[in-house]
Amino acid sequence: MSIQDSLEKIRPALQTRVANSLARGAGVRENFQEQLGRFLDLIAQALVSGDASWLDPILEEWSNARTQTDLQQGERNLSGLLHQVITYSLELGREMLSEADALELVAGLMPIYLHAVEKAAALENESRLQYVSNELQSAQIRLKKLDKSKSNFVAVAAHELKTPLTLIEGYAAMIGDLAAQENEQMHMLIQGTHNGIRRMREIVDDMIDVSQIDNHLLVLNFQPLWLNRLFNMLQADFTNIIGQRRHTLEIRPFAGSEELLFADPERLYQALKNLVSNAIKYTPDGGKIIIDGRILSGFVEVTITDTGIGIAPENQEVIFEKFGQLGDVSLHSSGKTKFKGGGPGLGLAITKGIIEAHQGSVWVESEGYDEVKCPGSTFHVLLPQRTQPSDPNLAKLFGAGENSPAQLPDDF
């Protein structure tokens, strides 16, 4: 008996067994048997021609017919179908053919089946890869929308909070003016109200800053400044807090700290203040904070080093993201300088936005997180060494950076 005749002999039983095994329901089985019949016709053609590629079109058709749900759940895969066809072909050959005819049929079918299995595996891998790629792209789109929604919420919430906060602040000031000066208890209550309002305004201002950074609306006002003057202002502003926490704040003079730079003094001070505040917050009482720096090619580097609890390597980028919170949020406590005190998680994100708006960069180095050994952290701020403003009119006004400190405001 020829191989073609052997295949025709087992074909009806083969179609029935494969259909009963893989298809559920009479209607489904009928349609499946029709498709399976086409497949077996092509196998017969491949046997006659000796070319297994006759199966490629129907395998591609079946692969393309799989839905997203099929791909997600791993159903209707070609490999499973081919496995059943091969298994039942071998079984029926043993049951219905002589040993010699069965061996001849298997020898003829195996190269065709192997080609089909390889082709099916390649098609399935391609489909799966495309599915995963589409899912990843969809996830990225959803994340962008979520991030945009969060940014929009921050912007709207900040502006919505600003108006009632201004009213509360005004009425609190009026109450303070009306309260009798000798009423110490009333004065204490009003002072507490003012402190709460001031902290709330700081948070609202931070939210507005984050919104401006996210939407590329942060405007810098470049002016001449000297870093050592900013450092002196930081030391003056943190004197009381440093004393309360028994910290030491050491400011080391370095090449470049007394040289004129053009930057936005208020924004740069805000960025450095956030870094010092962060160092105070995560350094146990009695610790030390050092402000230092150096000149690099075309840049000035400022470093703020603390003897605090450190930052784990996996969190050294997370802390610069907005709302980046480390540790257990359930243990959160408000406070800008209290040890491990919480906050909305905006300060370092704002610092990063301000420094990058200056075409600089900021990063942190730490051996890791350890509340016992306190390995500390070092924050690096890299600023372009601008010695004259980019605006030609300002360059004329300030003499292209040749002004002496006596000719410029003393604030910076």
In a domain, 261, yes or no: yes
Q: What is the pLDDT of residue 191?
A: 76
Higher pLDDT, 163 or 241: 241
Higher pLDDT, 72 or 118: 118
In a domain, 126, yes or no: yes
Q: pLDDT tier at 375 (50, 70, 90 boundaries)?
A: very high
- Count of alpha carbons within 13 angstroms of residue 134, beta-carbon side: 9
Same domain, 333 and 381: yes
Same domain, 67 and 200: no
Give the end of a domain, one of 113, 142, 171. Answer: 142
Q: What is the pLDDT of residue 305?
A: 97
Same domain, 19 and 163: no
Most confident range (mean pLDDT) of 55-64, 98-107, 240-249 is 240-249
Q: What is the pLDDT of residue 190?
A: 77
Q: What is the pLDDT of residue 29?
A: 58
CATH at 290: 3.30.565.10
In a domain, 147, yes or no: no
Same domain, 195 and 131: no
Same domain, 20 and 95: yes
In a domain, 279, yes or no: yes
Same domain, 17 and 57: yes
Give the containing element (helix H, strand E) for 361.
strand 361-365
Q: What is the pLDDT of residue 407?
A: 44
Same domain, 86 and 107: yes
Question: What is the rounded distance in angstroms from the CA atom of residue 55 to the CA atom of residue 63?
Answer: 12
Over residues 149-171, the mean pLDDT reads 73
In a domain, 60, yes or no: yes
Q: Which of 3-12, 64-73, 189-198, 254-263 has the lowest mean pLDDT?
A: 64-73
Residue 30: is its pLDDT beyond 80?
no
Same domain, 207 and 306: no
Same domain, 129 and 249: no
Same domain, 191 and 282: no
Give the end of a domain, one of 142, 171, 199. Answer: 142
Q: What is the pLDDT of residue 331?
A: 47
In a domain, 153, yes or no: no
Give the end of a domain, one of 214, 232, 259. Answer: 214
Same domain, 68 and 13: yes
The tokens of 324 are what?
């980046």
Q: What percent of the chain has pLDDT over 90?
A: 34
Higher pLDDT, 193 or 57: 57
In a domain, 149, yes or no: no
Q: Which of 141-155, 290-304, 363-377 has the lowest mean pLDDT?
A: 141-155
- Residues 245-304: tens digit of each pLDDT: 999 999 999 988 999 999 999 999 999 999 999 999 999 999 999 999 999 999 999 999
In a domain, 206, yes or no: yes
Q: What is the pLDDT of residue 72?
A: 60
Over residues 231-254, the mean pLDDT reads 95
Higher pLDDT, 401 or 96: 96
**Tally of domains within the chain:** 3
The tokens of 38 are what?
């086409």
Same domain, 285 and 264: yes
- Count of alpha carbons within 13 angstroms of residue 201, beta-carbon side: 14
Picking from 384, 386, 412, 410, the residue whose alpha carbon sits closest to that of residue 400 is: 386
Burial of 361 (0-12, 13-18, 19+ CB in 10 A): middle
Residue 157: is its pLDDT beyond 80?
no
- Residues 47-93: tens digit of each pLDDT: 888 898 998 898 888 888 766 655 565 555 777 788 888 888 888 98
Decide if 317 contacts 349 (C-beta within 8 A).
no
- Note down the domain range covering 262: 223-407
Over residues 169-198, the mean pLDDT reads 74
